Amino acid sequence: MSVSIPVLRDITEANTLLANELRAVFRGRNILVLDLIASPGAGKTTLLERTIGRLNGELRLCVIEGDPTTSIDAERVAAAGAPAVQINTGSGCHLEARMVQAALSQLDVAGADVIIIENVGNLMCPTGWDLGEDAKVVVASLPEGDDKPLKYPMAFSAAQAVVINKIDLEPYVSAKAERLRRNALTINPDLAVFEVSCLTGQGLDGWLDWLRAKLLAKRRTGTG
Amino acid sequence: MSVSIPVLRDITEANTLLANELRAVFRGRNILVLDLIASPGAGKTTLLERTIGRLNGELRLCVIEGDPTTSIDAERVAAAGAPAVQINTGSGCHLEARMVQAALSQLDVAGADVIIIENVGNLMCPTGWDLGEDAKVVVASLPEGDDKPLKYPMAFSAAQAVVINKIDLEPYVSAKAERLRRNALTINPDLAVFEVSCLTGQGLDGWLDWLRAKLLAKRRTGTG
């Protein structure tokens, strides 16, 4: 069976067009938008909880949560104090701009400083999809191994920052944060790299300063 | 632009047809075939290294390695003592039957008892692709969190077994192996679940016995 359907390039092109519309909306509102990409369980949601907690009273964050099923993550983020919307993708392996657009209709972003989009846990497929963000940020969990940037280079190439999480586990695993940092910079020398433990709070200051600097740059120049 | 191309269902149907051909070949040779699915860094390759080491002299294993880039995993598996072929998928997020077919042309499977296919590190996309295997096996890393079966149910639904890895880290993380086991069984009550540490070797006996039993069942009945 053969039917006439648009080729894939058209789907991603339509996505990019909509992403650019969203980007213009965000720019008009001076909102910094980040797209968090990681394997399942790398700690994206815990990083969000810590970030919301630490910026409480200083910046207003909103969160768009992507997961195949459940609203576990949106509930955790809401409990941490940020307005959140959950997108369930079902068998969909990444978020698309149209999903972000739909989520925005249910999220009160008036007065928001930052929107963080937590993508579906998948280190590959979200990489090629523009969501209107200012920057993609990879969360890399140390126990996943320090060779991940070499084996999954796309996400590290597309990102502006990498948060190496779970460094508190370094004494118990063979992976080394320094080696992960080096491998990430081999793939993309322009990456900002932060070594953190969302469990203990170690290293979060650098990440938060980067986020503040991005927001200020966006307000000054229109791009994060 | 619109062009006439086959719809996606046809692509997966073609894959399934080829997978069934491969399955017939494997059955004719009495080879058990497993498809390992996991997030990046859950420990698929380390489980392979331990499995090869423990079954050395008892069973002949061959390995087909899938990764976007590098031959790191095939080199590790070959060093552990098993013939291995690396498939690089580039931006491809899962293996397909045609890739397994191509790999088989470069792998000496004469006399092999078991072929283990290590899929691309991705807990979502490999789920729907039949590679001619007897069973899909999920490797779930404990530090990824014990809620992963609830959030990424497809892989757990499609699998016959789950290997919960890195249980040596349980004292240092909030996730609990028992809760991960329970959540996996909630999604799929028929799962065989093993709690192991590929670092210390703890719990591997149950996994190896399951693999031996699958091989014997295949030799007896023609299906693993």
- Convert the pLDDT of each residue in B91-124 to its tens digit: 999 999 999 999 999 999 989 999 999 999 999 9
B42/A93 Cβ within 8 A: no
Does the CB of B94 have a partner CB in chain A at under 8 Å?
Answer: no
pLDDT tens-digit map of B165-194: 999 999 999 999 999 999 999 999 999 999
Q: Is the pLDDT of residue B69 over 80?
A: yes
Cα dihedral sign for B136, B140, B146, B152?
negative
Please determine, for residue A63, whether its predicted confidence score (pLDDT) is greater than 90.
yes
Residues A121, B39: C-beta atoms closer than 8 Å: yes
Average pLDDT in chain A: 94
Q: Does B145 touch chain A (CB under 8 A)?
A: yes
Residue A78 touches partner B, C-beta closer than 8 Å: no
Give mean pLDDT, residues A132-153. 97
Is residue B3 one of the residues assigned to a domain? no
The pLDDT confidence band at residue B158, using thresholds 50, 70 and 90, is: very high
Q: Shortest CA distance to A132 belongs to which of A165, A152, A103, A156?
A: A103
Domain membership flag for residue B224 = no
Distance CA A216, CA A213 (A): 5
Q: A-B interface: how many C-beta pairs under 8 angstroms?
A: 143
Examine residue A24 and state whether it is found in any structural domain, yes or no: no
Confidence of residue B1 (pLDDT cuts 50, 70, 90): very low
- Do the chains contact at A125 and B125, CB–CB below 8 Å? yes
Amino acid at B217: A
Residue B181 belongs to some domain of the structure: yes
The vertex-A121 CA angle with A119 and A180, nearest 5°, equals 105
Q: Domain containing B211 — which CATH number? A: 3.40.50.300
Q: What is the pTM of this model?
A: 0.94
Q: What are the structure tokens assigned to B26, written together?
A: 């494997």
Interface-testing mutation among B124, B125, B164, B186, with chain A (most A C-beta atoms within 10 A): B124
Min Cα–Cα distance to chain A from B22, Å:
24
Instruction: Name which residue leads in pLDDT, B107 or B9.
Output: B107
Rg (chain B; Cα; Å): 17
Q: How confident is the model at residue B222 (pLDDT cuts 50, 70, 90)?
A: confident
Q: Are B98 and B15 in contact (CB under 8 A)?
A: yes
Per-residue pLDDT band for A1 (boundaries 50, 70, 90) equals very low
Tokens 């590190």 -> residue = B121
B105 in any annotated domain: yes
**Could you give the CA distance from residue A116 to residue A48 in angstroms, rounded to a whole number?**
8
pLDDT value at position B3?
54
Is A92 within a domain? no
Q: Which helix (H) or strand (E) element contains residue A32?
A: strand A32-37
**Would you call A151 and B10 a contact, using CB atoms and an 8 Å cutoff?**
no
Question: Scanning every residue of chain B, which has its alpha carbon at the shortest distance from the alpha carbon of A66?
Answer: B151
pLDDT of residue A5: 53
Residue at B166 is within a domain:
yes
Tell me the two tokens of residue B75: 């080199």
Count structural domains, chain A: 1
Residue A148: which of B3, B41, B199 has the nearest Cβ?
B41
Instruction: Give residue A107's pLDDT.
Output: 93
Chain A touched by B123 (CB under 8 Å): yes
Categorize the per-residue pLDDT at A3 as very low, low, confident or very high, splitting at 50, 70 and 90.
low
Smallest CA-to-CA distance from A139 within A110, A113, A108, A118 is with A118
For residue A122, is it within any domain? yes
What does the pLDDT read at residue A222? 82
And the tokens for B69?
């880039």
Q: Is A141 on the interface with B (CB under 8 A)?
A: yes
Look at residue B2 and tell me whether its pLDDT is greater than 70: no
Q: Which residue of A has its CA nearest to B127?
A: A91
Q: Tell me whether B69 touches chain A (CB under 8 Å).
A: yes
Whether residue A217 lies within 8 A of chain B, CB to CB, comes out as no
Domain holding B93, by residue range, is 8-219
Q: Which residues of B touch A143 (CB under 8 A)?
A: 41, 141, 143, 166, 169
